[in-house]
Amino acid sequence: MLDAVLIYINVVNGYITGAEYQLDSAYVTSYLRKNEVEVIQYINKDINNYHEVINDLFNYKTDTYVFYINEYNYYISKVIINELKAFRKDNKIIAFGPVSKYIGHNLLDEVMIDICVLQEEPMTIYNLINSYKLDHIDNIIYRKGTDIVEKGIRYYDYTLDDIGFPYSSGSVPIEEVENVGLITSKGCYGNCAFCSYTKNRYLTHSIEGIIDELKYIKKYFAYSSLKINFYDDCFSISNNRTKELCKEIIKNKIKYTYWCCTRADLLSDGLIDIMSEANFKNIVIGLETASNKVMTKLGKAVGSENSSQFIEKVRKSYKKCEEVGINPYISINFGLPFEKLEDAFRTIDYVKDKKMDNISVCFMTSFPGSRIFENSRLYDTHKDMSPTVLPYRTYYHNYDMGKIYNLLKQKNILNDIYIEQSTRKSKTVKDILYYYSGIPFSNRYSKFDNVFVKDDANDYLDFIDNNININGRIIRNNNKLSLSKNYLFCDDRKNIKYCIKEYGHTLEAAYKSDKYVPSIISTRTKGNITNIQIDNLYDSKKLSITTRSLNSLQDLIELENKAVEVINKGYFTINDIKNGIINNACMFSGICTLSQFSRVTLSDEKVNLCINHGHVGSTTDTTKQLVDNLSKQMEQNSSAECSNCKFYSKCSKCTFLPHFMNRKMFCKHVRCNPKLWHYLRMKNILYHYYTFNLFNIEGEDKIRFTICKDCNSEDSYYFKDEVVMFEYDYISIIYNLESNTMIYCKKDEHDTAKYLMGLKEDISFSNERYIDILLKLEKNNMLNER
């Protein structure tokens, strides 16, 4: 019997990475285990649907579940907690974390948490597990019948060493160190109005304790490339203590790569020198604004220092770090209290003029516990709860944040956010291209990854909640999206967002009914063009794709002729690519993903596959019933003749044929057009690159391709049938059309591929390098061994 199970659902930019380890939870676990409490951290890094999490938690023999909740995971945590309590009313649910106090004061009528921990989490949770009399325990808000009771705050006398250490205590596996990191202290003496960090207490580990923990890590990881992040609220709050720590790291030769975050007024030249010697490679320094007026009202500069002196210290610290080989990052914030457009411009001009190239951009967000959140009117900020209550939205009414966002993008200051958003957009476009074409860009799709809703998504919340992948996408057709008056806001410090009424309506309905809704993609189709809105993310450049349907046998014949022409020429032009992808091109691409249920359409309470045909059941059916219905239809369309056909491996065995074909006609066209599957798969890939302008081609510019063949019989390796090489200008890519693996080729890798295909007589580099390249190609599923 376990005394408690700890749960932390990690949400990063709206993506649920899993139930994971987390530092605050690790310290609670460490303290509880030191005091002989049987506790475990629930871990699941491959969650398909949140109902799996609930089933896993049910399997633990325990009376107490302890959730770490922040602004970003509140919604999914609420859904899990309420379903847990619906089946196990007597189980105790404890919550702690940055928003625990806010939940206790405002949300206990919406989430079935029994106790919210306010302070001193390790000791308070220990007391809760070991006592049934809540009225004797401080630092909590709890339910007492129909009443909500808040107890007083009690501070304990302890150091962080007394709580324990995350790795040597066994609370976190050693292989998680790069993900979870360490702290040497908690607390900050700063008084920034936007910050919700602990300000009223400063707690530390002893230097000896930190070094012992690093030595413990070193037993398992001896290599210096290991990156350790110190997540202290303010790492160098004591210069002398930080110097002593660095000296001990140097003395004990614990030469990992270190990262930390601190303030410029706490970075002396001498400290920066010794941090460099200890192998600190990255330091984040908070500037926030280059406006003296805004800085003064923000409360960033403390003591006798004025704002202009603080801003100058940031510049000097940045330059000093660069001189000694440390990679500094400057944190700047937009939308701060009392900030006008000219203040934002001043900050942008300052970091560019001072040649501060490493910049982390934030957009001011109101977090519970910060002075800005608690005193919005005083700080001239406009906040409002989101459709899921948390995180709160901060609106920008002093100027058009879109102008600043676009300027940051234009001046290459927004790189960290732009890279993350580009990756997100690329993945979304791939999923939507897959939804329409049926040709996947990955072999890792799960059931109900993409659910297209033709009607109001609110009508299908039960089906979506029961089936959709936890990181799946609802794709819905909206002819018009309505923007609220205050339409730009931020709720996560990093992404500017639109206030879209339809998006908020669906999320609010899901939240109130304890249903989970993941990403919502809004599409609007006019003719062959489909415009795409990813969730409510702001972007000045609109996304769109072009799709075409095969409506007749003549359409198919024209497509087949085009495929032969392109394959024979050995290249695509931009005009070949930009006319779009083919709806349900999977029919003739030698692939069928029906059984994965990853392309589902809901319409008129029906569940369809293959965009809008392929009816397999209704939205009231269980997943098993839908799978059984599909299996029966697939069996009816299979035959012994299929398995004996020499084109079997390149045929999709399509279950739901187009209306203008029967089975006999379909088989004939597959046999007579063996080049069509290569053409369709290559075009899908190139169209995705075209959408993101990867090749930067125009008009009749040519992207050449070579379908890799086994031509060099003397070598021990040869290319698989489905591997192609794309070449344009200086770009060369080897792509496996079957496994969707790819390699951007260096020159010697390009030459090796040509040599294997018999297109190059010799290679000019060492045999050792040649073998390394072969192994890389084999690892990426490009080669077969003879």
Q: What is the DSSP letter of 250?
A: H
Relative orientation angle of helices 401-410 and 341-353, to the nearest 10 degrees: 10
| Closest to 568 measured CA to CA, from 679, 490, 650 | 679
Place of tokens 């007492």: 144
Q: Which residues, at least 6 apart from 666, have a Cβ–Cβ distance to it below 8 Å?
A: 587, 654, 657
Sign of the CA dihedral with 32 first, then 34, 40, and 43 last: positive
From CA 275, how far away is CA 610, in angstroms rounded?
58
How large a percentage of the chain has pLDDT more than 90? 72
From CA 401, how far away is CA 361, in angstroms rounded?
13
Residue 637 structure tokens: 């369309």
CB 630 within 8 Å of CB 594: yes
Q: Where are the alpha helices (DSSP H) in 221-363?
A: 239-251, 269-277, 292-298, 307-323, 341-353
Of the pLDDT bands very low, low, confident and very high (cuts 50, 70, 90), residue 486 is confident
Q: What is the pLDDT of residue 221?
A: 92
Of the pLDDT bands very low, low, confident and very high (cuts 50, 70, 90), residue 695 is low
Q: What is the pLDDT of residue 650?
A: 79
Q: What is the pLDDT of residue 755?
A: 86
Q: What is the pLDDT of residue 763?
A: 81
Mean pLDDT computed over every residue of the chain: 92
Q: What is the pLDDT of residue 634?
A: 87
Of the pLDDT bands very low, low, confident and very high (cuts 50, 70, 90), residue 186 is very high
Chain segment 489-506, per-residue pLDDT in tens? 999 999 999 999 999 999
Residue 443 has pLDDT above 60, yes or no: yes
Residue 150 has pLDDT above 60, yes or no: yes
Residue 229 has pLDDT above 70, yes or no: yes
From CA 190, how far away is CA 310, in angstroms rounded?
13
Q: What is the pLDDT of residue 63?
A: 93
Residue 375 has pLDDT above 70, yes or no: yes
Q: For residue 317, report the phi and psi dihedrals to the nearest 5 degrees.
A: -65, -40
| Closest to 275 measured CA to CA, from 305, 299, 241 | 241
Q: What is the pLDDT of residue 190?
A: 81
More confident residue, 646 or 66: 66
Within 13 Å and on the Cβ side, how many CA atoms surround 703? 28
How large is the average pLDDT for residues 34-53?
Answer: 96
More confident residue, 197 or 102: 102
Q: What is the pLDDT of residue 415?
A: 80
From CA 348, how far away is CA 634, in angstroms rounded?
60
Of the pLDDT bands very low, low, confident and very high (cuts 50, 70, 90), residue 615 is very high
DSSP track, 186-223: E------TT--S--S--EE--HHHHHHHHHHHHHH---
End-to-end CA distance of the chain: give it in Å, rounded: 55
Q: What is the pLDDT of residue 506?
A: 95
Residue 439 structure tokens: 């040709």
Residue 512 has pLDDT above 70, yes or no: yes
Helix (H, G, I), strand (E, B) or coil at 608: strand
Q: Which of 210-219, 265-274, 714-723 has the lowest mean pLDDT?
A: 714-723
Chain segment 385-425, per-residue pLDDT in tens? 999 999 999 999 899 999 999 999 999 898 878 778 888 88
Residue 685 has pLDDT above 60, yes or no: yes
Residue 729 has pLDDT above 90, yes or no: no
How large is the average pLDDT for residues 367-382?
Answer: 93
The model's pTM: 0.94
Q: What is the pLDDT of residue 640?
A: 60
Residue 712 has pLDDT above 60, yes or no: no
Residue 179 has pLDDT above 60, yes or no: yes
Q: Which of 166-175, 493-502, 503-512, 756-765 has the lowest mean pLDDT?
A: 756-765
